[in-house]
Amino acid sequence: MLRRSDKLSIIDHTTFQNIQNDGAQTAPRMLAQSSKYKNKHKKDELQGTLFDFLVKSRKTQKQNKARKLKRPRLTITKPLYWPRRKGKTRINPRKKVTRLKKLICSYRRLKKQKMSTVEIPDYEEELREKLECLLLDTEDPSTQEEQKLPTKEEHLADQVHPIHSRRFRSYCDNCTRPQLKQLTTQLLKDVNRFQKRAYVKNEIKARAHPRFVLGIREALARLRIKKVKLLILATDCEICPGEHGLDETIDGLKELCQQQTVPYCFSLVRRELSYALQKRAQISCVAILDYDGANATFNDLLRELEDAKEEYKRLTAV
């Protein structure tokens, strides 16, 4: 056997085996041959596994589209660029109360005090007592047959027509038909849906051009600038007589509508108006400013309103 190197004669067999064992331990390991994981296993403690080469499948275009469609579309949020309110900011802000609301509250308190302090006897019993006192003074039997006891209904017959009641006050000018109620509710729902859609698209433009306004004060302001197309008033507003009271305010609204040839109707009570517009508080007045998109319902409502007014005139004329 030929020996090409002289190292074998110097190193014995055991030393040669030890050198081979040390070389096998310090031999370089096979790293992951991938551009994505080439710098991942630099440390000796970390070892490459098959999970390093596992690639997650990307979602298809249809799956991404379906995930986007699941998100809620109608989300009304205030933008960040909405202007802040100018003026002073109080720690305990005072609630502004209009003159009409003050009058209504004062009338409620007066009515409550009268009901609690004064015990009003029955109407017929009071009349009987007065009549007996008069008969005792006169002591004329002929007058007893002539005088009759008037009933409560006869006493109130001259004041209010029998067609009117607490839910259908005397200021109403038309009858409340089922078809008229249905058309009014449908028109209010459509206009409310259009306004909500406009708020979602652009809140600033929607605030500048509203479809309808709520309340007597807002309706009166829009009537003065001739922007109202239809006025819907509740049939069961509270009784509030006197100067600048609720009854006088409703009469003023009717006069303005007649001057500007604006149609107004009495078809729903306050609770039904709030239910149609999805509001919690009771609504006494709704002024429609723009009915574009519900023209057919609006025209049907006007035709039904004319028939209801004629029926009201026929019933009250008798």
Residues in Cβ contact with 200 at an 8 Å cutoff, skipping those fewer than 6 apart: 73, 74, 75, 76
How many C-beta atoms lie closer than 10 Å to residue 233's C-beta?
26
Backbone phi, then psi, for 128, in 5-degree steps?
-65, -45
Two tokens, residue 285 = 């007045």
Instruction: Report the residue count for the chain.
Output: 318
- pLDDT score recorded for residue 303: 94
- pLDDT score recorded for residue 52: 65
Can you list the pairs that 240-243 forms with residues at least 24 positions away whose Cβ atoms lie under 8 Å? Answer: 240/103, 240/104, 240/107, 241/107, 242/103, 242/107
DSSP letter at 53 equals G
Give the C-alpha separation, 41 to 49, whole Å: 10
Two tokens, residue 147 = 């005088």
Tell me if the pTM is above 0.75: no
* Domain 178-317 homologous superfamily, CATH: Ribosomal protein L30/S12 (3.30.1330.30)
Which residues in the chain come in under a pLDDT of 70? Answer: 1-11, 23-59, 70-86, 118-160, 318
> For the purposes of burial, counting CB atoms within 10 Å of the CB of 48, is it exposed (0-12), middle (13-18) or buried (19 or more)?
middle
C-alpha distance from residue 274 to each of 17, 220, 270 (Å): 98, 19, 6
List the one residue out of 228, 248, 247, 230 whose CA is nearest residue 238. 247
Helix (H, G, I), strand (E, B) or coil at 155: helix
> What residue segments make up the domains of the chain, in order of their start?
178-317
Backbone phi, then psi, for 266, in 5-degree steps?
-120, 100
Give the C-alpha separation, 147 to 197, whole Å: 69
* Cα torsion 96, 102, 108, 114: sign: positive
pLDDT per residue as tens digits for the range 176-215: 999 999 999 999 999 999 999 999 999 899 999 999 999 9
